[in-house]
Amino acid sequence: MLTILAIICILIGLFFMVVGAVGLLRFPDFYTRAHASGKCDTLGEGMMLVGFILYEGMTLISVKLLLLAIFIFISSPTAVHALVHVAYSRGVAPWKKGDERQ
Amino acid sequence: MSLKGNRSSIAGHAVVFILLMIFWLLLSGYLDFFHVGSGVLCCGIVTLISGDLVFTEEKSLLRSARIFFRFILYIPLLLMEILYANIDVAYRVLHPSMPIDPGILTIETPFEGDVLRTAFANAMTLTPGTITVDVCGGTFTVHALVLAGGEKDLLETRDIQNHLGAIFEEGA
């Protein structure tokens, strides 16, 4: 039962990782790509780690995986913010509706 | 770096040392003399060097603990918001005509604390269609995926804003 739940969590995580990759390819400019990769990767990795925790059960490895999930949820938005901030301060113009793809 | 400071400073150092020690034991998993001994040594050195970074003078230990536990209670709400935001982004990525209309917004907040601003910026990057681009004082520059839905997104962000303000005991 717990294994099935774990597999469902991992599949949801994989779905969001794939969506993030597709968004990275389809979206028109740097900022919108940051949206796709930043949000979907965070939830995708989080869901996969939750799946691993459910699969592993109550061991020390689960605690380490939980710490890893917390770290990703703090560091991933920070990394996206750092990238976007540098792009914005260096004058990368945001894409407007109707513009060409960059 | 004087350990002769007031009592709250010593208590702060003790709490930092205990937290570091718990973290060490969780990561190592060994309980023999060598591993615990080297853990005590390492945590002691780290506490001596940077123990005063976690608990600053103006915030008491009790208040920090209260903020911490209230923040933990807030996490499920944040996770629901993150799930909603991700489904929204997934819809916009997978829709054949890609219904996006991005643009830059600014959001004014009355927030003062560094931790509160960081938490708000992180929450905004993860939730509805926005990425924090720049923080200048209490003003957040934000890149929104859908400008037309900006009002709605902004309202939801204000909801987060109110929650975080209440958690960190600052006006929002």
Residue-wise burial string across B113-128, b where 16 or more C-beta atoms lie within 10 A, e elsewhere:
eeebbbbbbbbbbbbb
Q: Searching chain B, which residue's CA lies closest to the CA of residue A39?
A: B126
3-state secondary structure of B130: strand
Q: Are residues B31 and B105 in the same domain?
A: no
ipTM above 0.90, yes or no: no
Q: Are residues B41 and B73 in the same domain?
A: no
Q: Which tens digit of pLDDT belongs to each residue from A51-79?
A: 998 888 888 888 888 888 888 888 888 88
pLDDT tier at B79, thresholds 50, 70, 90:
confident
Contact B132 A81 (CB under 8 A): yes
Q: Are residues B34 and B73 in the same domain?
A: no
Number of folded domains that form chain B: 2
Interface test with A, best of B31, B93, B97 (most A CBs within 10 A): B93
Q: Are residues B44 and B75 in the same domain?
A: no
B58 belongs to a structural domain: no
List the single residue in A42, A85, A88 with the smallest CB-CB distance to B126: A42
Contact B86 A27 (CB under 8 A): no
Contacting residues for A34 by C-beta, under 8 A, at least 6 apart: A80, A83, A84, B131, B143
The whole-number average pLDDT for the span B11-23 is 84
Q: What does the pLDDT profile of chain A (102 residues) look like in tens digits?
A: 888 988 998 999 999 889 888 888 887 888 788 888 878 888 888 889 989 988 888 888 888 888 888 888 888 888 888 888 888 888 777 777 666 665
Q: Are residues B79 and B132 in the same domain?
A: yes
- Residues of B with Cβ-Cβ distance to A23 under 8 angstroms: 89, 93
B59 belongs to a structural domain: no
Range of the domain at B124: 66-167
